[in-house]
Amino acid sequence: MAKDCSPLQSKELREIRAMVDRPLIFKGILSAVDAVKAVDAGADAIVVSNHGAHTLDYLPHPLQVMDEIVAAVGGHTVICVDGGFRRGSDVLKGLAFGARLVGLGRPILYGLAADGERGVQAVIEEITGELKRLMTMTNTPTPAHAGKHLLVAF
């Protein structure tokens, strides 16, 4: 018999929260409804993510839903974002949309495949360097100062 893949109910999420004594992060949030559900269940953070668009071809990009999610839960939990972020400019966009943390998966894996630990370090340094340059060029003193005013069209 196939396992049920339906989303967890609020009661189930609260039960998980009660069993976990560490920070609990809910990933795969793509709507305000799910974000509120996660916060109500006690999430310490949420990750707005389409899982790199690997699960379904027609999932929205995380930046397409960030506004509604930030409006629904901004200030009540830490908002992270991942899925399709490859460069320092992508990180700045994620921050500008309200994320406190931007996840980078594939670039790190590419660095690892290319040159092991040194490759990972090189990727991190390159992305960090680009982010720092862009923050300097946009007069953004810290990541917390990144806002939608940095974006040309939003």
80 pLDDT band, cuts 50/70/90, is: very high
The reported pLDDT for the residue numbered 131 is 97
Active-site residue, from 51, 61, 76, 145:
51
Domain that holds residue 107: 10-150
What average pLDDT does the segment 32-37 reach? 95
The count of structural domains within the chain is: 1
- Whether 49 and 103 have beta carbons less than 8 Å apart is answered as yes
> For residue 89, what is the domain's CATH number?
3.20.20.70
- Does 105 score more than 80 pLDDT? yes
Residue 53 in any domain: the answer is yes
**Cα(135)–Cα(104) distance, integer angstroms:** 18
115 occurs within a structural domain = yes
Question: Whole-model pTM?
Answer: 0.87
Q: Quick check: is 1 in a domain?
A: no
* Residue pair 28/54 in contact by the 8 Å Cβ criterion: no
CA pair distance 66, 98, nearest whole angstrom: 7
Q: Reply yes or no on whether 51 is catalytic.
A: yes
CB–CB of 28/58 below 8 Å? no
Is there a domain that residue 143 lies in?
yes
Q: Looking up tokens 């995380």, which residue turns up? A: 62
Determine, yes or no, domain membership for 97.
Answer: yes
